[in-house]
Amino acid sequence: MALYAIGDLHLHYQSVLKAPGQLKDRVWKNHEEKFKKNCEKLLSPEDTLVLMGDHSWGKNLAECEKDLEYICDLPGRKILTRGNHDMFWDAKKTAQLNELYRQRLVFLQDSYETYRDYALVGTKGYTFEGPFLVDRRGRVVDWDEAEEAHAKKLVNRELSRLRTSFELAKADGYRKFIMFLHYPPTNILEERSGFTDMAEEYGAEQVIYAHCHGESRFHDSIQGEFRGRLYRLASGDFLKWQPLQILE
Ligand SMILES: [Fe+2]
Ligand SMILES: [Fe+2]
């Protein structure tokens, strides 16, 4: 029995592919088949796979049905969290998705799941990336305050959703946590953020995130040990479509 994670499948069986990188880059060629084969080799029915957002390019549920069927057909228990491109998934209507895919997929939002004695908590997150402009030497040359205020609102909403997830698990007696985000826990300038602070506050052992894809983005945030926690990037192209083992 093992716990695995990966993000950013960006499936498009019924929708138009919108990322130019996904059309040109070799790592994306037939990535659906590569990933499926890797899962079938690696995972058994007792295993758990957390899929950390950007599941599909579909604009609504009707355009995502085949993509979600593809995920249903992967081996093991599948837990999904939201990504910024998941237009089919309104956070407030998560209960309806869970009802629709009952026994097949778990949509995690304002809730938690368990693996052995661990609580699996998570949310989409938000990386406060836009308000500043950086020059070629990495120096901040401009800052947009209106944008900053808007970004802070989004960050706070995601932090409160994450806290709900932690608190529900804690109330049920869980003391060991693995935290999943779609966005990286910090922007390229930050060393700490509300997300890293929350991971420390609750003692999450590992923080797994995705969203950074394309080689130039792989090192946008923390990887490895940081202030007592292990941070790991698990975007699909970074992992070359091999699910990342989180726990045995
Ligand atoms: Fe993505
Ligand atoms: Fe994303």
pLDDT digits (tens, 9 = 90+) for 127-150: 877 666 777 887 877 777 788 888
Rounded Cα distance, 241 and 162, in Å: 27
Rounded Cα distance, 164 and 56, in Å: 26
Tell me how far the alpha carbon of residue 182 lies from the centroid of ligand 2, in angstroms. Answer: 6
Tell me how far the alpha carbon of residue 81 lies from the centroid of ligand 2, in angstroms. Answer: 11
Strand duo 140-143 + 132-134: pairing: antiparallel
Tell me how far the alpha carbon of residue 171 lies from the centroid of ligand 2, in angstroms. Answer: 31
Residue 19 scores a pLDDT above 90: no
Residue percentage of the chain with pLDDT more than 90: 81
Q: Classify residue 27 by its DSSP letter.
A: G
Encoded tokens for 103: 């026994």
Q: What is the mean pLDDT of residues 13-19?
A: 83
Q: What is the mean pLDDT of residues 48-58?
A: 97
Which pLDDT tens digit goes with each residue over 96-108?
A: 999 999 999 999 9
Strands (E), the chain: 3-6, 48-52, 77-81, 106-107, 113-115, 118-123, 132-134, 140-143, 176-181, 204-209, 224-226, 229-233, 244-247
Which pLDDT tens digit goes with each residue over 162-176?
A: 999 999 999 999 999
Query: pTM of the entire structure?
Result: 0.94
What pLDDT is recorded for position 222? 94
Residue 176 CB-half CA count within 13 A? 6
Rounded Cα distance, 207 and 180, in Å: 6
Question: For residue 213, which ligand has an atom nearest its CA?
Answer: 1
Which pLDDT tens digit goes with each residue over 191-241?
A: 899 999 999 999 999 999 999 988 889 999 999 999 999 999 999 999 999
Question: For residue 182, which ligand has an atom nearest its CA?
Answer: 2
Rounded Cα distance, 56 and 8, in Å: 8
Tell me how far the alpha carbon of residue 212 lies from the centroid of ligand 1, in angstroms. Answer: 7
